């Protein structure tokens, strides 16, 4: 291994408006080294990768490849200086064959070269052979299996012999044996003397492959070192697992021995070729608070969308004993299941008050006003912002508004999908208190999807861990760290 | 199997083209005149498809480019005839369309999504206003009569339009199948990835816009010297642009050649139904709507899909 670093990043910062996505980041990668860049959703790792590729322009800082400054250049110039990116998803040319798709990556960026060089064909075949697409050259992308589409992405990225290869979530959606094959391919990059940056959610998925891990949280470095060291790191454990994991004492009993109000039985969902959910079963009692924890991509949102009738599924979902299969999303919502989606879906150009009133549209005036008062009491900050447009609220306030709007619909079951996404710790505290009050003061049933365990565990009566489209663990929050942490780090 | 289908389509196309080439021997001047206009429109539609089907940019203002070509050629001829040959006027028209197109596209390609389309739409309205306001120069709403025409021989006019369509179609089709066409398609589908593969996406899209502008302008200019007059209703009106777009989509997106088929179909059908009066437009529109709804890949898609099944 050569000792001079190939990639030197220093002082790298990205601001989106008032939000600091990446803050004064510094790291290096040597030739023949694989660095894992990990962090939970919203930690800024994707932004770092996009800045290196030139897809996103850094606000400040330096990115040097073999001593040459890349920061601020457009993507195509950075690509020509030797950086390649393996996309997680892309849109291949569906009417061209696999071979032609690879050839595109080999074409010169010229308006004069009407026809490809003769050598291109041979090169494209060699690359296809190397990534394991040799037998699929004449197939078109829509007919390919999911893993083969990922191979095609890999093939395109390596076509230009990048010195530095960036890989976005290398193993997402792959089976165990495919993970092995992809690992071998990535190791070959290292053996070729290329520098590799793997971007992923957690250490576990990349630990077998990486030489070093850099962990990010809220745009800042929290740990760096070997995979084992980072997994043992106090800060990392706190970010992923939460600090002192104590479940709150119940002030209100739910009928644990009665029949569950919501049952999900062996539900599976396919997105094209990717298995988003595989035989998931769970149940929720009336008045219970159930947390479903899992990393980004584990399938939480898919499960919620299946419950709400937004995606087709196999298996059965029952609400109060009757199957929801075949009912429209609107009818399911009227039946009392209301989802507060990860993306919030606020009406940005309407005021806070208007957003809330729309949520309570079906109530009569007196009931609506009473409900509004109760919500303003739950989230006092919204009262002061009544006339403000939703778009102009801070992230935390938007989240509160989204929850409040969902509550205006008087749900029996409230589904909260990643309410903490992208929020600062101080806001989490406020949200957490509001949830605690909600649980104490009203008979509502809550199903919470979270990757932030610190937030998800304290309120929960029961916890499920969703990992790679399956339920990996179920139990009370107090046993989580001892039994389920290995699914998570 | 695919090769057979391909070759069957090829032979079918060849027979149609030969028949079209010897058509002047058989049919009346009225039919030839109709087809002459249809062939020029076919070039408009093919140029548009290069931009939409391959570069992925919806140009709502094909008539901005067509109008620039037509009016530049027409004004030059009306001002300088007979000192200036009409062929220079036609070339100047094509050049004006390219310059205007690039000036429009340079800033417009920086904005993403629907804003590019809106920019092109505004450009058409601006050109239309310009023509009306500077009526002394442009003939305004009445139209601009040009002193010269290419020829008054209907057969010759027909053959010129036919030959021009063949050459323009050949170049545009060849370009779409070349390495540049592939890069354009990649840029249109996933600009971020195309950039990460080292392609200057703006450069390629700008090139596509310039090529599209060149053939649109050239065809517009040629058509002026066939019709002997330039008017907003023929060359600039939004409705004309919509017809070009419908022709391209009707014939089959991303095929270039389908756009020509769609254009000829629209023009001929519109004329054939003319005895029905206002109803004709309605029937043509409904037909177009049905094809687009049920066969989004257009006529060529229908033929290919049918043969494959």
Task: Report pLDDT for A425.
Answer: 66
Topology, domain A262-336+411-487: Rossmann fold (3.40.50)
B196, A79: Cβ pair inside 8 Å?
A: yes
For chains A and B, what is the number of CB pairs under 8 angstroms? 79
Strand order in the sheet with A60-65: A19-29, A7-16, A60-65, A68-69
Task: Report pLDDT for A245.
Answer: 43
B137 min Cα distance to partner chain A (Å): 38
Minimal Cα distance from B182: which residue of A? A104
Which member of B182, B198, B207 has the closest CB to residue A76?
A: B198
**pLDDT tens by residue, B17-61:** 888 888 888 888 899 999 999 999 999 999 999 998 888 888 888
Total number of domains constituting chain B:
1
B89 min Cα distance to partner chain A (Å): 28
Q: Rounded to an integer, what distance in angstroms lies between the CA atom of residue A436 and that of residue A460?
A: 10
Query: B-chain residues within 8 Å CB-CB of A100?
Result: 182
A76, B178: Cβ pair inside 8 Å?
A: no
> Looking at the predicted structure, is the pLDDT value of residue B1 above 70?
no
Q: A83-86 and A34-38: which strand pairing?
A: unpaired
Q: Tell me whether residue B91 is in a domain.
A: yes
Query: What is the DSSP secondary-structure string of B27-58?
Result: S-HHHHHHHHHHHHHHHHHHHHHIIIIIT---
Among candidates B41, B91, B100, which has minimal Cα distance to B68?
Answer: B100
Query: A-chain residues within 8 Å CB-CB of B197?
Result: 76, 79, 104-105, 156, 159-160
* pTM for the full predicted model: 0.76
Task: Report pLDDT for B112.
Answer: 66
**Token pair for A408:** 């205006």
Q: Tell me whether residue B213 is in a domain.
A: yes
Q: What is the DSSP secondary structure assignment for residue B83, as one 8-state letter?
A: T
B289 min Cα distance to partner chain A (Å): 25
Q: Is B99 exposed, middle or buried (0-12, 13-18, 19+ CB in 10 A)?
A: middle
A215 min Cα distance to partner chain B (Å): 25
**pLDDT tens by residue, B88-121:** 999 999 999 999 999 988 887 777 667 888 888 9
From first to last of the 489 residues of chain A, give the pLDDT tens digit. Answer: 457 899 999 999 998 776 788 999 999 999 999 999 998 767 888 899 999 999 999 999 999 999 999 999 999 999 999 999 998 877 888 888 999 999 999 988 888 877 777 788 899 999 999 999 989 999 988 888 888 899 999 999 888 899 999 998 888 777 778 888 899 999 999 999 999 999 988 787 788 899 999 999 888 899 999 998 988 888 888 777 664 444 454 544 565 667 889 999 999 998 877 788 889 999 999 889 999 988 777 889 999 999 999 999 999 999 988 898 888 998 998 889 999 988 888 888 889 999 998 888 888 888 899 999 999 998 988 888 888 888 877 778 888 999 999 999 889 999 999 888 767 666 777 888 888 888 888 888 999 998 888 788 888 889 999 988 889 899 888 888 788 777 676
Residue located via tokens 């997680």: A88
Which member of A100, A109, A113 has the closest CB to residue B199?
A: A109
B196, A74: Cβ pair inside 8 Å?
A: no
Q: Tell me whether residue B286 is in a domain.
A: no
Q: Tell me whether residue B204 is in a domain.
A: yes
**pLDDT tens by residue, B291-306:** 888 887 888 877 766 4
Residue located via tokens 């009409």: B86
Instruction: Tell me which residues of chain A, numbers 148 to 187, contact chain B at a CB-CB cutoff of 8 Å.
Output: 156-157, 159-160
Contacts of A131 (CB under 8 A, 6+ apart): A151, A152, A154, A155, A158, A185
Average pLDDT over residues B76-85: 90
Query: What is the DSSP secondary-structure string of A83-100?
Result: EEEE-SS----TTS-HHH
Q: Rounded to an integer, what distance in angstroms lies between the CA atom of residue B47 and that of residue A414?
A: 53
Q: A34-38 and A212-217: which strand pairing?
A: parallel
Classified as helix, coil or strand, A25 is strand
Which member of B189, B195, B204 has the closest CB to residue A55?
A: B195
Is some CB atom of chain B closer than 8 A to the CB atom of A84?
Answer: yes
Q: Tell me whether residue B98 is in a domain.
A: yes
The class (CATH top level) of A7-241 is alpha beta
Q: Rounded to an integer, what distance in angstroms lies between the CA atom of residue B292 and that of residue B287?
A: 9
Average pLDDT over residues B196-223: 94
**pLDDT tens by residue, B235-246:** 999 989 999 999
Q: Tell me whether residue B285 is in a domain.
A: no
Classified as helix, coil or strand, A243 is coil
Q: Rounded to an integer, what distance in angstroms lies between the CA atom of residue A21 and that of residue A422?
A: 9
Q: Rounded to an integer, what distance in angstroms lies between the CA atom of residue B134 and that of residue B140?
A: 7
Q: Tell me whether residue B262 is in a domain.
A: no
- Tell me if A7-241 shares its fold with A262-336+411-487: yes
Task: Report pLDDT for A412.
Answer: 92
Q: Are A201 and A295 in contact (CB under 8 A)?
A: yes
Q: Rounded to an integer, what distance in angstroms lies between the CA atom of residue B220 and that of residue B236?
A: 10
CB atoms within 10 A of CB A258: 10
B157 min Cα distance to partner chain A (Å): 32
Q: Tell me whether residue B292 is in a domain.
A: no
> Looking at the predicted structure, is the pLDDT value of residue B309 above 70?
no
Is some CB atom of chain B closer than 8 A to the CB atom of A109?
Answer: yes
Identify the helix (H) or strand (E) that includes residue A291: strand A289-293
Domain residues for the domain of B140 are 31-237
Buried/exposed code over B177-196 (b: 16+ C-beta within 10 A; e: otherwise): ebbbbbbbbbbbbbbbbbbb
Is some CB atom of chain B closer than 8 A to the CB atom of A138?
Answer: no
């Amino acid at each position: 291994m050569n000792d001079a670093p190939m990639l030197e990043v220093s002082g790298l910062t990205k601001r989106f408006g008032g939000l600091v996505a990446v803050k004064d980041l510094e790291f290096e990668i040597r030739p023949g080294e694989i660095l894992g860049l990990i962090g939970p959703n919203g930690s800024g790792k994707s932004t770092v990768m996009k800045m290196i590729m030139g897809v996103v322009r850094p606000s400040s800082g330096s990115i040097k490849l073999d001593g040459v400054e890349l920061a601020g250049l457009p993507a195509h110039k950075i690509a020509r200086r030797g950086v390649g990116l393996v996309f997680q998803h892309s849109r291949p040319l569906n009417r061209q064959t696999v071979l032609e798709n690879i050839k595109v990556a080999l074409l010169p960026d010229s308006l004069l070269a009407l026809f490809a060089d003769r050598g291109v064909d041979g090169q494209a075949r060699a690359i296809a052979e190397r990534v394991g697409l040799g037998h699929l050259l004449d197939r078109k992308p829509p007919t390919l299996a999911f893993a083969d589409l990922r191979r095609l992405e890999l093939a395109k990225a390596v076509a230009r012999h990048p010195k530095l290869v960036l890989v976005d979530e290398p193993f997402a959606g792959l089976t165990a044996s495919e993970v092995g094959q992809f690992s071998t391919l990535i190791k070959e990059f290292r053996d070729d003397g290329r520098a590799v940056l793997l971007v992923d959610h957690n250490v576990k998925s990349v630990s077998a492959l990486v030489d070093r891990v850099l962990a990010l949280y809220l745009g800042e470095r929290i740990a760096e070192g070997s995979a084992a060291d980072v997994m043992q790191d106090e800060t990392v454990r706190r970010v992923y697992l939460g600090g002192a994991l104590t479940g709150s004492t119940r002030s209100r009993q739910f009928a644990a021995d009665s029949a569950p109000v919501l049952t999900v039985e062996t539900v599976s969902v396919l997105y094209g070729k990717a298995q988003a959910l595989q035989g998931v079963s769970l149940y929720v009692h009336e008045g219970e608070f159930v947390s479903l924890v899992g990393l980004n991509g584990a399938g939480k949102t898919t499960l919620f969308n299946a419950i709400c009738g937004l995606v087709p599924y196999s298996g059965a979902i029952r609400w109060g004993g009757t199957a929801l299969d075949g009912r429209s999303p609107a009818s399911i919502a009227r039946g009392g299941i209301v989802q507060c989606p990860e993306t919030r879906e606020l009406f940005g150009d309407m005021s806070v008050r208007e957003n809330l009133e729309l949520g309570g549209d079906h109530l009569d005036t007196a009931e609506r006003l009473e409900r509004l008062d109760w919500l303003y009491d739950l989230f006092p900050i919204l009262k002061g912002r009544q006339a403000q447009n939703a778009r102009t609220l801070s992230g935390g306030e938007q989240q509160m508004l989204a929850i409040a709007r969902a509550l205006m619909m008087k749900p029996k079951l409230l589904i909260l999908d990643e309410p903490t996404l992208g929020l600062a710790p101080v806001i989490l505290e406020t949200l957490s208190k509001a949830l605690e009050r909600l649980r104490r003061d009203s008979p509502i049933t809550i199903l919470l999807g979270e990757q932030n365990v610190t937030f998800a565990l304290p309120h929960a009566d029961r916890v499920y861990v969703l990992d790679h489209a399956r339920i990996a663990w179920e139990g009370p929050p107090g046993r989580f760290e001892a039994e389920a942490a290995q699914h998570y780090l | 199997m695919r090769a057979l289908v391909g070759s069957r389509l090829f032979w079918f196309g060849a027979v149609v083209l030969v028949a079209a080439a010897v058509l002047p021997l058989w049919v009346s001047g009225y039919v030839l005149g109709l087809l002459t206009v249809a062939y020029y429109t076919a070039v408009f539609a093919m140029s548009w498809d290069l931009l939409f089907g391959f570069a992925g940019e919806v140009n709502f203002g094909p008539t901005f480019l067509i109008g620039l070509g037509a009016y530049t050629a027409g004004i030059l001829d009306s001002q300088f005839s007979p000192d200036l040959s009409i062929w220079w006027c036609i070339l100047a028209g094509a050049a004006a369309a390219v310059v205007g197109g690039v000036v429009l596209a340079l800033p417009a390609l920086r904005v993403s999504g629907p804003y590019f389309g809106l920019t092109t739409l505004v450009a058409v309205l601006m050109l239309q206003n310009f023509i009306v306001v500077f009526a002394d120069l442009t003939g305004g709403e009445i139209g601009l009569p040009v002193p010269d025409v290419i020829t008054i021989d209907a057969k010759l006019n027909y053959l010129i339009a036919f030959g021009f369509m063949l050459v323009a179609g050949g170049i545009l089709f060849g370009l779409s199948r070349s390495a540049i066409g592939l890069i354009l398609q990649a840029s249109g589908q996933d600009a971020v990835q195309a950039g990460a593969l080292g392609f200057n996406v703006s450069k390629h899209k700008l090139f596509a816009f310039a090529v599209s502008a060149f053939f649109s302008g050239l065809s517009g200019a040629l058509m002026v010297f066939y019709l002997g007059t330039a008017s907003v209703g023929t060359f600039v009106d939004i409705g004309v642009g919509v017809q070009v777009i419908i022709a391209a989509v009707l014939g089959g997106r991303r095929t270039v050649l389908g756009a020509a088929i769609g254009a000829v179909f629209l023009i001929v059908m519109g004329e054939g139904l003319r005895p029905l009066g206002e109803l004709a437009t309605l029937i043509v529109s409904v037909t177009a709507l049905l094809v687009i709804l049920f066969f989004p890949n257009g006529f060529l898609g229908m033929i290919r899909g049918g043969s494959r099944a």
